Structure 1
Amino acid sequence: MSSTEIFETLESKVRSYCRNWPVVFTKAEGSSLTDEEGNTYIDFFSGAGALNYGHNNPQLLEPLIDYLKSGEIVHSMDMYSPAKRTFLETFDRVILKPRGLDYKVMFPGPTGTNTVEAALKLARKVTGRQHVLSFSNAFHGMTLGSLSVTANPMKRAGAGIPLTNSTKIPYDDYLDGVDAEFGWLERALSDGGSGIDKPAAIIVETVQGEGGLSAARAEWLRRLSELCRRYDVLLIVDDVQAGCGRTGTFFSFEEAGIVPDIVCLSKSISGYGLPMALTLFRPELDVWTPGEHNGTFRGHNPAFITATAALETYWRDEAIVPTLAARISQLHEGLSQIAASIDGAVVRGRGLLAGIYFPDHDAAGKIAAEAFDSGLLIETSGPEDEVVKIMPAMTISEEDLAIGISILSDAVATVTGTNELAGAAS
């Protein structure tokens, strides 16, 4: 039996990432992975954004091991535990208070779609309205509520039933600008005869991680926030992939200076790739009755331990921000050099959630495959997988980032035939 045969014969056809990377990974450290054959790969994937601090980060691993060996509680539903208490105290002290944010913290379940489902349910409960607006090319999760506000037709089709009570509206730069995108919506909300139901909420990603890496401008986000306030519509920011520092600040909406009514966090909130999610909301929205939204895996104490360690290590006094800014600058400079030599190629995204759009929509997949063969893990994004998507760890070294950019540059040169690119960004 080959090393992958058991997966191919017994595991469901639904598996996806392993089809592009058909090796068995055995070890991981920092920004690199090693397979069974001893081959090493630079990681520009970071567990789809769940490993912002890299693989097996010792600053998080050591307190986790100590905790697991201590005999303290691992699974606690929503009961009280010292690990949860310390996490909440740290999150409030390190993240919320310095930003002037007054949010209740809800543990909705272990994944990103859990926090989105909770946000949608809460918005409908608070307002008494059913309809939710989301955006073109949005992705919010794979359960039914999250799919209803997702735009991708392939993922929506998997629901097998009509996905209702949601309408898609144009994302930033989908039309001709802020006025074009919000003018009709403002008119519809203000006109009692428009025939459009007033929504409970509008849900938005500040950077569309799965939808092609379009990044909303600060001006556009401010206009959206103002519109929601004016018409008493709740604003939900889905920060599952763009949050926890990936855009350069802990929350991706900080640059715009807005304060959403509800914020969805998951992926890297645990710091270590352990399942964990938070739903944050203004205190006056906390209208839940006990047990009205629950789940078995809301109290995963090892995740509280690593989350606390990540906050103390990297976000107390904004310790990671200067290094993070340097890596963001290095990445965007490298991507800009690559894109400049390809007709129609455009750099997209913000921070370390970035990539390159290729006018030949077949190119991105071929580039990702070529990069894998050369020792780099990258994925694609967009409705036609037309964007090469780069998500290195925030802790990646300057050297590893340069090596990864060089491999990507060579892969682009090979696929597009622009051989003068090779090594351009190294």
Structure 2
Amino acid sequence: MTTESTDVLVVGAGQAGLAMSAHLTKAGIPHIVLERSRIAERWRSERWDGLVANGPVWHDTYPGLEFPGFGPDEFVPKEKIADAFADFAKRDKLPVRTGVDVTSVHKNEGSRGFRVETSKGPIDAKFVVAATGAFQKPIIPPIVPESAGVLQMHSTAYRNPAQLPEGAVLVVGAGSSGAQIAEELLKAGRKVYLSVGPHDRPPRSYRGRDFVWWLGVLGKWDMTTPAEGKEHVTIAVSGADGGKTVDFRKLAAQGMMLVGRTQSCRDGAMHFAPDLARNVEEGDANYLSVLREADAFIARNGLDLPEEPEAHKIGPAPQCMTDPILSLDLKKAGIATIIWATGFSSDYGWLKVDTFDAKGKPKHQRGVSTEPGIYFLGLPWLSRRGSSFIWGVWHDAKYLADQIAIQRGYMAYRGPQH
């Protein structure tokens, strides 16, 4: 079988892979993008039906990515996001091949580059970009045994309330996905329990500006590492219903039962940490700190933005905070479904090169790995806080394309001419 060759092989045709391809194309660097399914597949088949972008159009985009029919301050539904990526690739004639699974990547010993084995045959590439992102392998903690008699699913498998059996629902995880799914179920008339861990809770908007604008002007998108102790803290924010602030106190007032972090399941009962009040209060403190920083920025720069005193008022603590539920019998509570909104782990089993630490995390600096010729793109905090967002990955891809161009330049040098 003839082995195809290319300069750069990009694995994954989501927001990261397409951004990488666009920059490589602009730089005139030959490359191929391989995608095991469809372009932007995770937006289509691994998200719930009602999901919309968590940022407005003017911010959640990159150059040339268009969302017909949506204004700059609107939040785009997931299918339209996937359509926009597919249109972007088609319009710019990006060299994307769909339905091709990459099974392994090995270093070519004694010669340049890597041998990439795929479901459609081998490819030799001088450089390989792993653009599969961070959301690869859903995590369901091994807490609740199958014998508990409840349906368990990860948030990636949830589609809509009608999909679930009759009965109450426990949602574990109160980041953006968990909070939005729990509220959707509550609106559908379900009894909902939401397990709330540590989180940041920014305002959706304040004084006429969306929170993505505030994070920008306050320099928070450019943070290069999370604050100490905040490495695994989720962000609760929602673009649903035109965009709104996630407020756990208000959700409790509407009938949602909040509990602390899920710890264990014994004899058919769930057990929760006594940390609900602290988690909610720390989320409120994060929310208020953004408002104070925003007020200071407005005053310092003389901006004419309307005051919003009501935004600073925190509602009363609901009973579930003052008298927390520490144990919940699943049968007695009528819980028929547990949805685990507990994040993802990476899966680089196909990348057979020496660039991972003992825990399997990529070793890299701004996406440039310790294995020369291997690059990572789309990971949280790759270069800064915004790295895993649509607009952020565009800038990271530009940096990696530049690094590849630099290396190509070195390898093109043939030595002194005599």
Q: Same fold (TM over 0.5)?
A: no
Which has more radius of gyration? 2
* TM-score (normalizing by structure 2): 0.28
- Bigger strand share: 2
* TM-score (normalizing by structure 1): 0.28
